[in-house]
Structure 1
């Protein structure tokens, strides 16, 4: 089995075309053991516990403790073999992207905001298995509603991530970061109801989608920027996990999703513009440190992008179901549609 190493890590030769490369000699049922063995030769798994199951029954995440004393996270993905639905294609592609991201874009870990170090990334048949650093050792806390220092720290992480991957054109990641863009959410579009907000969002969905794109100012998105994907050392220091929806897009898309999904309701409702300015200031600082050319990107442009991305996300929620800071999101969406004379 051919392999490559980044910082002492083990990977199969992972590329867009080879994302389903088989692990020689190992049936899918043994994929977890094979992947852990590849990552830590000569060690034994002394304990394995399930942390959580993946969305829609696509596998599980485990914590394994090894005879060497190391604790690692194993993400074992087992998609259904008999589904050709748009939803299944999207999910399988997202795991291919996640494996590619870990194997190819996290080599210089020190230059990237804190995320799990990959130890082993393999695939076999229709399954995937990632062995990753257990960040809970260093970041043992979780916060579900983010406000004050935690919300600003989360925005800082996003700003640094977006600056790190500014104008990234790597072909192995998704063309569209996130999971709610219009082309992949036709069922939710068709489910939009007859109330005034849904009617307007349906009528202008393609226009809104177009306005969420501007290649001059795109970066890589985390794609699922919610508090459930963050671990904390303290209220000012976080690490992020779950990179299956990494892809190109405007950083404002991650910011809109974060505020909608995980921001303290009162703080987002009363200080949204202050939070946007915080993010953009952190982004500008990170861009300077990275030596990247922002192509004259201004706060006003970013704020405009944020509003379009918010409209797009509310369009998705209107067909899928509202959650999080939906009252603020709906109110701002209605105001924006009025300003746009929609």
Structure 2
């Protein structure tokens, strides 16, 4: 997809750059909805910006065949949520040291197009992406999540998803209908209710996989891609991150170390942002929901693609544990 010259002119004028010297395509947007690219500029203190150029005609294909009007509407809403996040939350949040993310430089919305111009994390020193995670990488992401969740504890998701994550039950009726696992299907609403009704709700990133983090040379993390941010239990982001980094053969002690690190970061963040909230009470409410959050994601994955590598002995055991925990409580 070629980026129209008028779009490049709009970007240059919006940020008062002398000119855009060239662009570098990062990736097409999921399902053919546009392009994510880096634009190199002159006449600014920074060398480049990130641009999300979204075009909204309904695409004709989907990587796994889930091309329906419902999936189209979900994707449209996700882009509007991301615009709302960057317009109304991000530029205030960027003051936070332990959960950095891009500032919003410019937004333009037309009938069939959205243009989102963001600070390039490369210019802030977050120049690395990781396809394979070391323990240090995972801990950096968990630090980010802990501080982010602490910051937004009890914040209402105005303009965001009422319930965050891209796999939320209410937005995935097709995958629920296709789910071959009868016990999991029967427990789906019970699992969803447990996560929605736990005492402490925050804003969750909603797609906190490894690919949505960038890293500095010394392994600090920053996050991107806020299309599925909304209200929820922090364990949902934690399991999404782990689902993207685990081999699923890790010793239980390592998983516990990861969870302990996350709750230590959450504790530190709560002391800074919400000193009246007892961090121990949050941990007591959330830690038993680790298996429940996995079961919630498993419900989506098994309905979407039952052969997926994230359906395995580890996730099946956690799902069984969650169903037992919820049905015998």
Pair in the same fold by TM > 0.5 = yes
Is the Cα–Cα contact under 8 Å of residues 260 and 329 in structure 1 kept in the other structure?
no
The 1:327/1:79 distance shift into structure 2, 3 A limit, reads farther
Give the total of aligned pairs. Answer: 311
After TM superposition, give the deviation of residue 57 of structure 1 in Å: 0.6
Structure 1 partner of 2:113:
127
Structure 2 partner of 1:162:
149
2:253 corresponds to 1:257: no
- SS at structure 2 position matched to 1:272: helix
Question: What pairs with 1:85-234 in structure 2 (closer than 5 Å)?
Answer: 85-108=69-92, 109-111=94-96, 113-137=99-123, 138-193=125-180, 198-214=181-197, 216-234=199-217
2:35 corresponds to 1:60: yes
- SS at structure 1 position matched to 2:196: coil
Question: What pairs with 1:242-281 in structure 2 (closer than 5 Å)?
Answer: 242-267=225-250, 270-281=253-264
Structure 1, 236-245 or 299-308: larger mean CA deviation: 299-308
Is the Cα–Cα contact under 8 Å of residues 52 and 116 in structure 2 kept in the other structure?
yes
The 1:263/1:242 distance shift into structure 2, 3 A limit, reads same
Is the Cα–Cα contact under 8 Å of residues 49 and 117 in structure 2 kept in the other structure?
yes
Structure 2 partner of 1:337:
323
The one-character-per-residue Cα deviations of 1:157-179 (angstroms, maximum 9, x if unpaired) are 00111111111114211101111
Is the Cα–Cα contact under 8 Å of residues 17 and 41 in structure 2 kept in the other structure?
no
Q: Which runs of 5+ in 1 are unaligned?
A: 1-27
Cα RMSD after superposing both structures: 2.4
After TM superposition, give the deviation of residue 45 of structure 1 in Å: 1.1
The 1:168/1:38 distance shift into structure 2, 3 A limit, reads farther
2:15 corresponds to 1:40: yes
Cα distance in structure 1, aligned partners of 2:227 and 2:319 = 28
The 1:292/1:84 distance shift into structure 2, 3 A limit, reads farther
| Structure 1 residue corresponding to 2:26, chosen from 51, 61, 72 | 51
Cα distance in structure 2, aligned partners of 1:153 and 1:325 = 26
Is the Cα–Cα contact under 8 Å of residues 149 and 235 in structure 1 kept in the other structure?
no
2:56 corresponds to 1:79: yes
2:286 corresponds to 1:302: yes
TM-score normalised by L of structure 2? 0.87
The one-character-per-residue Cα deviations of 1:150-202 (angstroms, maximum 9, x if unpaired) are 11111010011111111111421110111101111111111112xxxx11111
Is the Cα–Cα contact under 8 Å of residues 212 and 250 in structure 1 kept in the other structure?
yes
2:304 corresponds to 1:317: no
Moved over 4 A (4+): 28-31, 81-84, 338-342
The one-character-per-residue Cα deviations of 1:263-309 (angstroms, maximum 9, x if unpaired) are 35444755222221211111011110123433663423211222221
Q: Which runs of 5+ in 2 are unaligned?
A: 60-66
After TM superposition, give the deviation of residue 235 of structure 1 in Å: 5.2
- SS at structure 2 position matched to 1:131: strand
After TM superposition, give the deviation of residue 78 of structure 1 in Å: 0.9
TM-score normalised by L of structure 1? 0.83
Cα distance in structure 1, aligned partners of 2:138 and 2:79 = 27
- SS at structure 2 position matched to 1:121: strand
Is the Cα–Cα contact under 8 Å of residues 147 and 267 in structure 1 kept in the other structure?
no
Structure 1, 166-175 or 327-336: larger mean CA deviation: 327-336
